[in-house]
Amino acid sequence: MRKIIFCLLALFLLSPNFSASAAAETQVEILYMNHGPLRSTIEQIKEALSQCGDKVSASWYDFESPEGEQFMAKKGIKQHVPLMIWVDGSTLAKVGQNEVKFVGFPSGAGPWLYQGKWTVEDLKAALAQATGNK
């Protein structure tokens, strides 16, 4: 019995399909409002994620759904926010010489009051950095 358990454990640890692929994914979490003004940005984010192939695993949380409410409680979010993106657990990323926070609409999109200071190009750069070593 011990030999069988040892063999299964060795197979699991040495198999690239199990050990390497689980560690190779960059985790991206997106909290969003499913409203008209944000839909074009959502499509741009989906396109940016698709360019990463299997190096990224994305989880989407609708702000107004029960899952979104649970996610916001887990993250400690209490304010009204149209969009937040976490790359490997952080909304902050160093892009070039700038620190970017993926909160609100991208610059130049959506209502002025809810625009953040980031672009979809910043997100693409952060994803490229996060997946570069994977």
**Residue 45 to residues 1, 22, 64, 67, Cα–Cα distance (Å):** 49, 23, 19, 20
Residues contacting 69, CB < 8 A, separation 6+: none
CA distance 65 to 32: 10
Distance of CA 29 to the CA centre of its chain: 4
pLDDT in tens, 81-120: 899 999 999 999 998 888 999 999 888 776 777 777 899 9
Output the pLDDT for position 24: 60
Q: Are 81 and 75 in contact (CB under 8 A)?
A: no
Superfamily classification of domain 23-131: Glutaredoxin (3.40.30.10)
User: Is pLDDT at 129 greater than 70 in this prediction?
Assistant: yes
Q: How many CA atoms lie within 13 A of 17 on its CB side?
A: 2
Tokens of 53: 């192939």
Output the pLDDT for position 44: 95
Q: Give residue 58's pLDDT band: very low, low, confident or very high (50, 70, 90).
A: very high
pTM of the model: 0.78
Q: List the domain boundaries for the chain.
A: 23-131
CA distance 68 to 2: 45
